[in-house]
Structure 1
């Protein structure tokens, strides 16, 4: 599987839902808590082309977007191919 990075904050329901879907897919991911480290929030915003809400998800270096975007990929059948090597 490709490298997956997800920027989150604690107690974020959308973050939890996104992580749950990735876990169900057997996809390992690296989580970055932007609440704990303000520098990570700036990094996230830069990488996400100004996206300031969490989660912000990257698969293989490609910006996927947030939780709704991740679930839209799943429903359209595009998530599994995106996760595959």
Structure 2
């Protein structure tokens, strides 16, 4: 199973939507709440090439992007391939 990490925040519907998709697929993920941890926010900025919006999602250390990017991969049938790697 792939290593999935999500940088998220409280009261973020996009974060909830991304996590719901992964949960429906039975994919475990590690969540970092950047609104509670300044060090994790800085880490996210570095890993996501300065992107500040949340969520920022990584699969096997590759930057996927945000919620819309995750759903786009799923719509194209590419997400399952990434998650099984």
Q: TM-score range by the shorter chain?
A: over 0.9
| TM-score calculated relative to the size of structure 2 | 0.98
Q: Give the secondary-structure state (helix, strand or coil) at the position aligned to 1:54.
A: coil
In 2, the alpha carbon distance for the partners of 1:24 and 1:45 equals 28
Q: What RMSD over aligned residues (CA atoms) do the two structures have, in Å?
A: 0.5
TM-superposed deviation, 1:37? 0.6
TM-superposed deviation, 1:10? 0.5
Instruction: Output one character per residue of 1:16-73: Cα deviation in whole Å (capped at 9) or x when no partner.
Output: 0000000011100000000001111110010001111000000011000000000000
Q: What is the count of residue pairs matched by the alignment?
A: 85
Q: Give the secondary-structure state (helix, strand or coil) at the position aligned to 1:58.
A: strand
Alignment match, 2:14: 14
- Structure 2 unmatched ranges of 5 or more: none
Alignment match, 1:4: 4
- Structure 1 unmatched ranges of 5 or more: none
